[in-house]
Structure 1
Amino acid sequence: MGGIRRGGGGGGGVGIRHLSKKAKATAAKYAERNGTAPPKKPAKPMREPSFPEGHGEKLWVFNHIEADHVLYSHEPYIRSHKAKQQMPYTGKKLVPSKLRKDYWRPLAMISFGEGLGPVGRNVFQKLREFKKRHELEWATTAQDDDRTQKMYNMSREERGKALNDQRGNSVADLAAVLSGVGKGNKMWIHPTQKLLKEEEAEGKEEQKADEEILAEVGGERQLREVTVYWANAQDRFYAREWSDNVTHVVGLPPMTEKERVKMEALMGINKAVEVKEEVSTEQPQPTVAA
Structure 2
Amino acid sequence: MTYPLELRESTHLIHDDYPVNLFRNRCQTCSEHEPILGLHWHEHFEIIQMVTGQAVFHIESKPYLVAPGDCLFVPSGGLHVGYQVGSEPVEYIAIVFNKKLLNIDTKDSAHHQYVRPYLEGLIQFPVAYPDKDPDNEVLSLLVNQTVRELELKDRAYELAVKHNLYSLFIQLSRRFSPFSSEPQGTNPNRRLERFKPLFLFVDEHPTGKISVEEAAGYVNLNPYHFCKMFKKITGRTFVEYMNLQRVSRAEQLLRETDYTITEIAELIGCGNPNYFTKLFKQYRGVAPSRIR
Identify the structure with bigger relative contact order (alpha carbons < 8 Å, sequence gap 6+): 1
Q: TM-score range by the shorter chain?
A: under 0.3
Name the structure where strand makes up a greater proportion of residues: 2
Q: Please, what TM-score do these two structures have when normalized by structure 1?
A: 0.26
Greater C-alpha Rg: 1
